[in-house]
Amino acid sequence: MAYVSDRNGERDRGEHERRTRGQGSKYSADDMAGYTLAERPSTWVRTRSHLLKAALHYGIPDDVLVVRGPTQHRAVALTFDDGPDEMTHEFLACLAELGVRATFFVIGQHASEHPDVMLEYVRGGHEVASHGYTHRAFPKLSSGELLDELSHTQALLPPSRSPRPLVRPPQGAKTPRSIAQVAAAGYTTVLWSLDSDDCRTDRAEEVVSRVSPARVSPGEIVLLHEFQKWTLQALPGLVKQLRDDGYSFLTVSELLGR
């Protein structure tokens, strides 16, 4: 069975560790030393990924796999992967100021290290869902390991209002088999329809332009990451331009009408 690593928007765990190791809350230039931005995939890789997502989107019911939301309302869902960490407070403060609720796909291991932050997400009205426990790619796990990743992470999250909790596979990696395993365990796999590319730039204005109204359409699920200062800096401009264009911001479950 083909292994599909969707490198559209997710760096691997090693890159994440380099990025977060030793960081304080100020994120000086020294903090950023040694951090390598993910490489931009080739046009072919991006095209293949888009085609695969389209095939999955139209071929599989949305209680199994979600790539984007319905298009009848002018709404989008901002999603933030890989938290919680030292920057989460700043993201939550920024979103509160903007009056935006979002969906956070958290790594179980990080959640266990920051139990206080889990409550802050809830207090902010945000949705919190699973991004695996160790951020290992699901297709590389045995079915027992995958079930452990899912159950250990879910136990750390606020109770899901949806009968099928949401899971975003680490690194976007999935196979038909891994998607079926996640579904059989009672979860919905959630990918994204628009990559902010915030793993491939460290310029906030580039993130803003990647999520401009010209690129966004109703029902969009936007991939962002929590632990990057440029993503945080991009949020006010990103939100304003979409709001000015008539968009509202929902959690993924709200977007799906769950």
Is 116 among the residues known to form the active site?
no
Among 7, 79, 82, 208, which residue interacts with Zn ion (rule: CB under 5 A)?
A: 82
Helices (H), ranges, 66-142? 88-98, 108-113, 115-123
The residues that bridge with 105 in the sheet, in sequence order, are 81, 129
Closest of 211, 243, 213, 237 to residue 224, by C-alpha: 211
Kindly identify the residues of this chain, within the stretch 219-258, that bind Zn ion according to CB under 5 A.
none
Catalytic residue among 110, 114, 135, 225: 225
| Closest distance of CB 168 from Zn ion, Å | 7
Tokens 């690593």 identify what position? Answer: 5
- Please identify, using beta-carbon distances, which residue of 127 and 242 lies nearer to Zn ion: 127
Q: Are 159 and 119 in contact (CB under 8 A)?
A: no
- Please identify, using beta-carbon distances, which residue of 75 and 83 lies nearer to Zn ion: 83
Tokens 């099928």 identify what position? Answer: 164
Is 81 among the residues known to form the active site?
yes
| Closest distance of CB 73 from Zn ion, Å | 28
Q: Parallel, antiparallel, or unpaired for β 127-130 and 103-106?
A: parallel
- Please identify, using beta-carbon distances, which residue of 107 and 242 lies nearer to Zn ion: 107
Stretch that binds Zn ion, among 118-126, 149-157, 165-173, 243-251 (CB under 5 A): 165-173
Number of residues in contact with Zn ion under rule CB under 5 A: 4
| Closest distance of CB 17 from Zn ion, Å | 12
Catalytic residue among 6, 16, 81, 85: 81
Tokens 């984007």 identify what position? Answer: 68
DSSP track, 27-42? --HHHHTT--PPPPPP
| Closest distance of CB 170 from Zn ion, Å | 5
Kindly identify the residues of this chain, within the stretch 4-23, that bind Zn ion according to CB under 5 A.
10
168: Cα within 13 Å, side-chain hemisphere:
31
- Please identify, using beta-carbon distances, which residue of 8 and 188 lies nearer to Zn ion: 8
Does residue 81 bind Zn ion (CB under 5 A)?
A: yes
Stretch that binds Zn ion, among 75-83, 122-130, 191-199, 205-213 (CB under 5 A): 75-83
- Please identify, using beta-carbon distances, which residue of 222 and 242 lies nearer to Zn ion: 222
Question: End-to-end distance of the chain based on CA atoms, in angstroms?
Answer: 32
For the chain, give me the number of helices (H) and strands (E)?
11, 9
Distance (Å, rounded) from C-alpha 185 to C-alpha 169? 14
| Closest distance of CB 82 from Zn ion, Å | 4
Residues that bind Zn ion in the complex, under the rule CB under 5 A: 10, 81-82, 170
- Which residues are catalytically annotated? 81, 225
